[in-house]
Structure 1
Amino acid sequence: MDEKQKARLFELADLILAISRHLHAAKADAAEPWTPLEAAVMRFIDHQPGATATQAAEATQLISSNFSRALRKLEHKGLVRREADPGDARRVRLYPTQKAGENLGYLQDAWSRLLEEAVPDAGEAEALISTLRHIESQLLDRIRSGTDRG
């Protein structure tokens, strides 16, 4: 990788982090408060309802103790519920609660208002979403294949 591309990719990552901080700050009044670790766990469970704790911990790349702590806090806040797996009672499945769905609605309203002036064009929003999904998919593939360590 040449130095110009290295600098561009660093700037991309830096901008994603800066935008993330703005979004995290904007949700303070709109939703149940949570930490970035709790947000990562909640996002996975929202996207993969019925996943096991092991699947969620691996996908969020959290060590077991941090994942367990975040999950307990989310349960205490009433955002996640555990259900026994019907096929194997020893396994537990994780699901977002109704409160989590309401919380997600608050976030959708707050974040949409925050971004509507920055990205007013629907086509531009779709292009950005597509690009960011592709980046996330590539990063997840690296995690799954074990090539994210370096």
Structure 2
Amino acid sequence: MNRDEAMRVNRALTKTGKLYRAVRARKLAALDLHPGQDVLLWLLAEEEDGMTVSQLAARVGVEPPTATRSLARMEKRGLFRREPVPADRRQVRIVLTEEARRLLPAIEAAWVELADEVVGDLPPEQRAAVVAALEHANDRMRAQVGAAEPAED
């Protein structure tokens, strides 16, 4: 890759990341959520019995203290409850409340709206190519940082 092409790729990725985060933050603010909380809620919704903070942090690709900080805001809103882990009473599981479950369709609608705003006007084959290129780039970067799971933001 020549220098000009490399600079164009780097500028496009940097701008895209910043703009995507900004637009996503606005959409989530309308739900009184911060970026990342949507992903935590969605992951917790997949596990009916909940997850420990360590399990949740591993799924997101962050350290447990980072997940704990995000969960602290969510706990104030009553979006989850803590339940003892039957096999180890020293640990607790994070389990979604009904209030949090009611937010899930709005979160998914925000994600659909955001994806549509970003690539929805492209023909289906071009959308597929964009997603494939981004997934390929993510795989290559994940290999560089040694991450086993994709980090969610």
With the length of structure 1 as denominator, give the TM-score of the two structures: 0.64
Contact 1:80 1:100 in 2 (8 A): yes
Contact 2:51 2:93 in 1 (8 A): yes
Change (3 A) 1:111 1:89: same
Q: CA deviation at 1:8?
A: 0.8
Q: Give the letter for the 1:15 counterpart.
A: T
Contact 1:27 1:111 in 2 (8 A): no
Is there any run of 5+ residues in structure 1 with no aligned partner, and where?
146-150
Contact 2:83 2:92 in 1 (8 A): yes
Q: CA deviation at 1:112?
A: 3.1
Contact 1:80 1:94 in 2 (8 A): yes
Say yes or no: does 1:83 pair with 2:83. Answer: yes
The one of the two structures with greater contact order (alpha-carbon pairs below 8 A, sep at least 6) is: 2
1:13-70 per-residue CA deviation (whole Å, 9 max, x = no partner) reads 43033022112212333x2x13335445445534566322123345452572x54332
Aligned residues: 142
Contact 1:82 1:92 in 2 (8 A): yes
Residue of structure 2 equivalent to 1:148 = none
Say yes or no: does 1:36 pair with 2:35. Answer: yes
CA distance in 1, matches of 2:142, 2:97: 26
- 5 Å matches for 1:16-31? 16-29=17-30, 31=31
With the length of structure 2 as denominator, give the TM-score of the two structures: 0.63
Percent sequence identity over aligned pairs: 22
Q: Give the letter for the 1:55 counterpart.
A: Q
Contact 2:24 2:35 in 1 (8 A): no
SS in 1 for 2:29: coil
CA RMSD of aligned residues (A): 3.5
Say yes or no: does 1:102 pair with 2:92. Answer: no
- 5 Å matches for 1:114-133? 115-116=115-116, 118-119=119-120, 128=130, 132=134
